[in-house]
Amino acid sequence: MSRIAAVLLAAGEAARFGRPKQLIPWQGRPLILHTAGIPWSAGLDPVIVVLGAAAEQIAPLLEGQPLQVVRNYRWREGMGSSLCVGLAALPPRTEAVLFLTVDQPFVTPAHLRRLIAAWEAGASIAVTRWQRRRTVPALFDRRHFAQLAALQGDAGGRQLFDKATERPVEVEAGQPLLAADIDTPADYERLRARHPRPDLRGLRGVLCDMDGVLWHGLEPLPGLHDFFAFLRRHSLAFTLVTNNASKTPRQYVEKLRRFGIEIGEEAVLNSAIAAATYLHERRPNGGRVYPVGGPGVHAALREAGFTLVDEEARGADVVVVGWDPHLTWRKMARATLLIRNGAAFIGTNPDLTFPAEEGQVPGNGAQLAMLEAATGRKPTVVGKPETALYRQALARMGLRPQEVLVIGDRLDTDILGGVRLGAPTALLLSGVHGEEALRRALVHPDFVFDDLAALVAAWEEALKGGQR
C-alpha cells in the first residue's frame, strides 16, 4: 500500500490528562508504540508520526522503528498545524493519506483496510462513523491535500469532511471501543479495564510456524510431542506454514517423523508453494522462471507448470528468490542481469535472518536486499507477513481467520501476518524474538508463551473453563 501514507497525530499536550498520554502503558508498552503499530500493521507506507509537546521524551522510544518521525513546533496552534506538518512530510508518490490520533488504542488494522477499500472503490474521503458522528481515522485523496494544508485551529480534518462538497463515504466503526479515545485518567482506567481478552476456547485450528517453534536446527523444542497430541485430542485442524522455501513438504514430514511425529504432506505449506501458486494464478500458461533457492523452490515451480532455466540462460519471464543455503555470487549475478533486463522479481519471504543451530544467520530477506540494491527494483513478496500463505492454508482447512490461532516466533512475519489476516496470534519466545523485542514492537500478539509446552498448558486450562 505504498500509494497510501499514514499520519499519526501525536503532538498534543494532553492538558486534561495531566501528563503525556503518549507515554502511558498500554499492553505492556507505551501507547505511542501501540498506536503507531496499527497503520504499520495494516501495511501503510510510510507511517509518519507527528510529535510536538514532550517530543524530547517521546522521540527516543521511536528510534530504530520503521517510522518517519517529524516535529511540529507550532503544536500549540492546534491540530491543523500537525496536519500541515504531516502533509509536508509525504513522499511525492502518495495518492492518499490516512490520519489517526494517538489516543485511539482500539482502532484495528482491519478497520483501516476498510477505509482504504472505500478509497479504492472511488471515495475521495472516507471517514469513521459511530452513532451518527463522523470521526477519525479518516482517509483523504490527494485532491484534498491543499485544502487540508490550509486548515487552522483545533478541528483538524473534521473541518474538511463536515463541509466537503463531495459527500464522504462513512465506514461504520462496528463496535464502540473502536471510536473511543483517551482524554482523562478516568477514560484511561475505564478503557484499559474494557480491553477485550481473546479466548482460546472457540478456536478450531492452528496455523503454526516451524523453525524456532517446533525445532531449532536438528533439535526438537520442548512440548513438541504434547502439542501434536493436544491438537489430535481436541480435533483441532492444523497447517504448518513456513517462510522457509528451501525444503519440500516431504522433507518437513520426514524431519518430523525423525522426531516421532507423523503427519501428511498436505499439512505443510511453505512460501515456495505459495509463490508458485501466486505465479500460476497470474500466468496460467506457465513461462520461463529462473529460481534461486533450494529444492522446495524448484519442486513447487515445476509442479505449477513453469519451465526452470539455469545460470546460463539469457532470458526468463520471472526470477523467484527463496532462501538458498548454497548461494553463490554467480546465482545472484544471473538473477541481477535477468531482473535488470525486465524479468518479474518475486521473493518467497522477507525474513532477514534464519534460525540455525549456532544462531541467527542471513535469511532470504538479506538475499532480496542484495538484489534490490543491485537492480533498483523491489520484489513482490508472497510469504509472511503478506497473507497469501495463510489464506491458502485456511482454504485447505475450510476455516475463517477468527477460527484459527497463528503461532510463531517472529513478530515481523508470523505475528504481523496473523494481525493482517485478522486472526488471533501467539508469540513463542523459543525462537527469534524475545521479551526485549516484544517491549519495543509495533505489532503485539494476543498471547505470549515461553514455548509450546506453555501454550498447551494454557489452552488446556482454557478448555476446562479457566481462561487466563
Q: Residues 39, 154: one domain?
A: yes
What are the residues whose beta carbons fall under 8 Å from the beta carbon of 432, sequence distance 6 or more?
A: 212, 353, 355, 360, 409, 410
In a domain, 259, yes or no: no
- Cα gap 373→328, rounded to integer Å: 17
Q: Residues 282, 361: one domain?
A: yes
- Cα gap 44→463, rounded to integer Å: 37
Q: Exactly one of 103, 162, 183, 211 is catalytic; name it.
A: 211
Q: Which amino acid is at 312?
A: E
Q: Has residue 19 got a pLDDT over 60?
A: yes
180-191 confidence digits (pLDDT tens): 889 889 999 999
* Confidence band of 441 (pLDDT split at 50, 70, 90): confident
**Would you state the pLDDT for residue 131?**
82
**CATH number of the domain encompassing residue 131:** 3.90.550.10
Q: How many Å is the maximal CA-CA distance in the chain?
A: 69
What are the residues whose beta carbons fall under 8 Å from the beta carbon of 307, sequence distance 6 or more?
A: 286, 287, 288, 289
* Confidence band of 467 (pLDDT split at 50, 70, 90): very low
**Would you state the pLDDT for residue 434?**
74
**Would you state the pLDDT for residue 351?**
83
As a whole number, mean pLDDT of residues 448-456 equals: 95
Map 53-103 to HEC letters. Answer: CEHHHHHHHHCCCCCEEEECCCHHHCHHHHHHHHHHCCCCCCCEEEEEECC
Mean pLDDT, all residues of the chain: 90
* Confidence band of 235 (pLDDT split at 50, 70, 90): very high
Quick check: is 183 catalytic? no
**CATH number of the domain encompassing residue 281:** 3.40.50.1000
User: Range of 363's domain?
Assistant: 272-381
Quick check: is 211 catalytic? yes
- Cα gap 95→282, rounded to integer Å: 26
302 in helix, strand or coil? helix
In a domain, 41, yes or no: yes
In the chain, the number of structural domains is 3
Q: What percent of the chain has pLDDT over 70?
A: 96
Q: Residues 313, 208: one domain?
A: no
As a whole number, mean pLDDT of residues 365-383 equals: 94
Contact in structure between 86 and 7 (CB atoms under 8 Å): yes
**Would you state the pLDDT for residue 444?**
87
As a whole number, mean pLDDT of residues 87-109 equals: 94
Tell which of 326, 346, 381 closes a domain.
381
213 in helix, strand or coil? coil
**Would you state the pLDDT for residue 1?**
52
As a whole number, mean pLDDT of residues 324-349 equals: 94
In a domain, 442, yes or no: yes
**Would you state the pLDDT for residue 162?**
63
Q: Has residue 468 got a pLDDT over 50?
A: no
- Cα gap 356→215, rounded to integer Å: 10
As a whole number, mean pLDDT of residues 275-295 equals: 92
**Would you state the pLDDT for residue 312?**
78
Give just the sign of the alpha carbon dihedral 175, 177, 183, 185.
positive
Contact in structure between 290 and 319 (CB atoms under 8 Å): yes
**Would you state the pLDDT for residue 287?**
92
Tell which of 348, 381, 414 closes a domain.
381
| φ/ψ (deg, to 5) at 214 | -90, -30
Q: Has residue 293 got a pLDDT over 80?
A: yes
Q: Residues 371, 415: one domain?
A: no
- Cα gap 247→182, rounded to integer Å: 49
- Cα gap 449→414, rounded to integer Å: 14
Q: Residues 280, 366: one domain?
A: yes
120-164 confidence digits (pLDDT tens): 999 999 999 988 788 899 999 999 998 888 877 665 556 666 665
Q: Residues 40, 123: one domain?
A: yes
Tell which of 151, 170, 193 closes a domain.
193
In a domain, 372, yes or no: yes
Report DSSP letters for 154-180, one per residue.
Answer: S-TTHHHHHH-SSPPEEEE-SSHHHH-
Q: What are the counts of helices (DSSP H) followed by strands (DSSP E) for the chain?
A: 18, 24
Q: Residues 8, 152: one domain?
A: yes
Q: How distant, in Å, are the alpha carbons of 65, 253, 432, 433 from that of 436? A: 14, 33, 11, 8
In a domain, 297, yes or no: yes
Q: Has residue 436 got a pLDDT over 50?
A: yes
| φ/ψ (deg, to 5) at 123 | -75, 135
> HSE on the CB side for 323, CA within 13 Å?
25
Q: Residues 332, 418: one domain?
A: no
208 in helix, strand or coil? strand
* Confidence band of 248 (pLDDT split at 50, 70, 90): confident
In a domain, 71, yes or no: yes
Q: Residues 88, 210: one domain?
A: no
412-428 confidence digits (pLDDT tens): 899 999 999 989 999 99
Q: What percent of the chain has pLDDT over 90?
A: 68
Contact in structure between 223 and 456 (CB atoms under 8 Å): yes
**Would you state the pLDDT for residue 160?**
62
As a whole number, mean pLDDT of residues 29-57 equals: 95
- Cα gap 435→438, rounded to integer Å: 5
Q: What is the pTM of this model?
A: 0.82
Q: Exactly one of 45, 209, 351, 412 is catalytic; name it.
A: 209
* Confidence band of 51 (pLDDT split at 50, 70, 90): very high
Q: Has residue 78 got a pLDDT over 90?
A: no
Q: Has residue 249 got a pLDDT over 80?
A: yes
167 vs 42, which has greater pLDDT?
42
In a domain, 256, yes or no: no
**Would you state the pLDDT for residue 118?**
96
Residue 248 grid coordinates: 519440500
**Would you state the pLDDT for residue 163?**
61
**Would you state the pLDDT for residue 260?**
95
Lowest mean pLDDT of 283-297, 345-359, 363-377, 438-452, name the range.
345-359
The burial of 321, by beta-carbon neighbours within 10 Å (0-12 exposed, 13-18 middle, 19 or more buried), is given as: buried
In a domain, 82, yes or no: yes
Give just the sign of the alpha carbon dihedral 262, 264, 265, 266.
negative
**Would you state the pLDDT for residue 2?**
67
* Nearest partner of 61 among 92, 89, 25, judged by Cα: 25
Q: Residues 11, 28: one domain?
A: yes
224 in helix, strand or coil? helix
Q: Residues 178, 205: one domain?
A: no
Q: 359-362 and 29-30 as β-strands: parallel, antiparallel, unpaired?
A: unpaired
For residue 378, how many other CB atoms are within 10 A of its CB? 12
Query: Per DSSP, what are the bridge partners of residue 408?
Result: 427
Q: How distant, in Å, are the alpha carbons of 43, 244, 410, 431 from that of 65? A: 14, 25, 16, 21
Q: Residues 352, 439: one domain?
A: no
